[in-house]
């Protein structure tokens, strides 16, 4: 049964095919070459919509920067219909009450589907909301997060029992303190949070024993048994570019050489997830480099940037599909990311001729 039939050139089983897709109550119920039913024609190339597992929509507490209404509208405009929001709000999401308060706010504002992380600080396992979509661990300090305190093996086991992804912001606090300088430009900021700080943090995280670990926003090739996430800004920007404080982000933009190597590795299929790490701030906050908070926007441009690389024949289609669409949905066990019966009929259309 279906209440709508979409007709178009769908990316299905690894290639574009002219198909009719029957949909009932928002889910795909039939996939055929032709369905004898009134059809809605979808123009151009049709993909499954994307999932972004790493955004910071600043709601609650700093809605002058972003809220869930503007953030989710931007996500949809960029081909993403599901986002997962991080817990380092000004009001930290590290306990049951904060999680429930945020959920109530978000439900009133969101235009897309969403999930919410809770923060593990090392001593708060018993008060983390068990309905959290994922756990975020900040190994070192960054915006609205002071880093990981002491923890024990029972905490690791307790988080593993939740059977949800555990995402690491991997920068080692001792390394950050050792290299700290009052950076006044992107090159100095890169030196103040060097790649070795990532290496050390990833090494520590990899020994912690989590079953569903993800290392977020890697800036260079680090081996780990966990899944590995990259961002468009680390793939395409570097510290030689004239970006000023708008390029200030944690971990930093790297040298042109490291950025090029990361892009080559991503293109080769070495990484698992492409996320935006969308982290907005106001123009006033970004006015002075030294005091500007770290964060780059990107929830609306994550997919279009990759599509541009595909159009230029730089990025293979299958790598884009795997990292931006299929894997993020699979990792969070949501029925999206692939056109198949039983999945939600979330599509995006792309005009490659324009």
The tokens of 134 are what?
A: 């994922």
Q: Which of 94, 129, 277, 346 is catalytic?
A: 277
How far is 266 from 102, CA to CA, in rounded Å?
34
Torsional sign, CA 253, 258, 261, 262 = negative
3-class secondary-structure state, position 115: strand
Q: Which of 307, 318, 316 is nearest to 13 (CA)?
A: 318
128, two tokens = 């983390």
Strand-pair category, 213-215 with 227-230: parallel
Q: Are 186 and 241 in contact (CB under 8 A)?
A: yes
CA 295 to CA 280: how far, in whole Å?
Answer: 6
**What are phi and psi for residue 201, nearest 5 degrees?**
-65, -40
Neighbour count for residue 306 (Cβ, 10 Å): 26
277 an active-site residue?
A: yes
Active-site residue set: 277
């Amino acid at each position: 049964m279906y209440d709508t039939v979409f007709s178009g050139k769908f990316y299905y089983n690894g290639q574009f095919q002219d198909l009719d897709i029957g949909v009932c109550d928002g889910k795909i119920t039939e996939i055929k070459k032709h369905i004898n039913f009134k059809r809605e024609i979808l123009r151009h190339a049709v993909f499954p919509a994307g999932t972004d597992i790493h955004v910071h929509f600043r709601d609650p507490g700093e809605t002058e920067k972003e809220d869930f209404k503007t953030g989710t509208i931007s996500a949809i405009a960029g081909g993403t219909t599901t986002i997962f929001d991080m817990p380092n709000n000004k009001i930290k999401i590290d306990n049951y009450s904060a999680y429930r308060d945020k959920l109530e706010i978000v439900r009133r504002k969101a235009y897309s589907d969403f999930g919410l992380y809770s923060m593990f600080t090392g001593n708060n396992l018993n008060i983390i909301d068990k309905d959290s979509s994922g756990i975020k661990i900040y190994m070192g300090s960054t915006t609205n997060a002071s880093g990981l305190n002491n923890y024990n093996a029972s905490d690791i086991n307790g988080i593993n029992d939740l059977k949800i992804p555990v995402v690491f912001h991997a920068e080692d606090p001792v390394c950050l303190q050792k290299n700290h300088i009052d950076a006044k430009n992107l090159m100095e900021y890169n030196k103040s949070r060097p790649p070795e700080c990532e290496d050390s943090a990833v090494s520590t995280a990899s020994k912690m024993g989590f079953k569903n670990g993800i290392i977020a926003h890697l800036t260079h090739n680090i081996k780990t048994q966990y899944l590995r996430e990259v961002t468009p800004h680390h793939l395409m920007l570097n510290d030689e570019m004239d970006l000023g404080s708008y390029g200030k982000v944690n971990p930093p933009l790297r040298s042109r050489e490291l950025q090029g190597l990361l892009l080559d590795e991503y293109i080769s299929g070495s990484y698992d997830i492409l996320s935006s790490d969308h982290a907005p701030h106001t123009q006033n906050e970004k006015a002075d480099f030294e005091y500007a908070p770290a964060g780059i926007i990107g929830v609306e441009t994550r997919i279009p940037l990759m599509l541009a690389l595909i159009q230029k024949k730089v990025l293979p289609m299958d790598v884009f599909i795997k990292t931006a669409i299929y894997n993020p949905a699979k990792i969070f066990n949501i029925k999206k990311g692939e056109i198949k019966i039983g999945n939600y009929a979330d599509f995006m259309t792309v005009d490659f001729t324009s």
